[in-house]
Amino acid sequence: MIPSPSIRPYRREDRPALDDICIRTAHNGQDSRPLYRDPSVLPAIFAAPYVHLEPGLAFVLDDGRGRAVGYILGVADTERFARDFRTAWLPLVADRYPEPSGPPGTRDEEMARLLHRPERMSVPELAAYPAHLHIDLLPDWQGLGHGRELMRALLEALDDRGVPAVHLVMMKANEPARAFYDRMGFHEIEARIDDSVVCLGRSTRDRDRL
């Protein structure tokens, strides 16, 4: 029989695959490896701390052979996650990715600065959307409906925990991702962060409309 892809909970052995997916999709959905001296800083910010601190809200797209080819990662309480990132995650990776002593001069240094500033996730305008998420799929697995199923899995898990709404922060330049989130029922939230990004949010309910 031909293996069938499926959505399943994250397993610890998925960690290398998640790091790889993050790196290969981090530049507005494209491969980030040509742009960074050490692209492993990207999953150290946007993937690994999520499965380390809140693995119960991580789901993967399994290719049917046990390999993760996409994921959605969430946290139920962004304020708590930012604190845990500071106290429980950053000490594990800070030595490998030191904070720049001055203004960042490279993309690697820009990411290292983000890593060392988890408080950036605390945005007052997003308080009504306490959860947040990251979702990525390898290019060959995009556009097939798997992103929708990953989103449904996370929203259901958040709703089961009593979390009313979720947000995400994305680069404005990533037009395909914005089109996807619009189809998923996300709307724009006015928040003062950075002119290069936009904040989107939605209820964890009304999943039948996905």
pLDDT in 10s for each residue of the chain, 210 residues: 678 999 999 999 999 999 999 999 999 889 999 999 999 999 999 999 999 999 999 999 999 999 999 999 999 999 999 999 999 999 999 999 999 999 999 999 999 999 999 999 999 999 999 999 999 999 999 999 999 999 999 999 999 999 999 999 999 989 999 999 999 999 999 998 888 899 999 999 988 778
Residue 3: per-residue pLDDT: 80
Angle at the Cα of 72 (from 22 to 33), degrees rounded to 5?
Answer: 5
pLDDT given for residue 139 in this prediction: 93
Single-letter amino acid code for the residue at 42: L
Please state, as a whole number, how many other Cβ atoms lie within 10 Å of the Cβ of residue 150.
22
6-161, what's its fold?
Aminopeptidase (3.40.630)
> What is the domain partition of the chain in residue ranges?
6-161
Give pLDDT, residue 115: 98
The Cα-based distances of 167 to 6, 14, 30, 80 in angstroms read: 25, 25, 22, 15
SS (H, E, C) 109-171: HHHHHHHCCHHHHCCHHHCCCCEEEEEEECHHHCCCCHHHHHHHHHHHHHHHCCCCEEEEEEE
Q: For position 123, what pLDDT does the model report?
A: 93
Using an 8 Å Cβ cutoff, are 165 and 131 in contact? yes
pLDDT of residue 173: 87
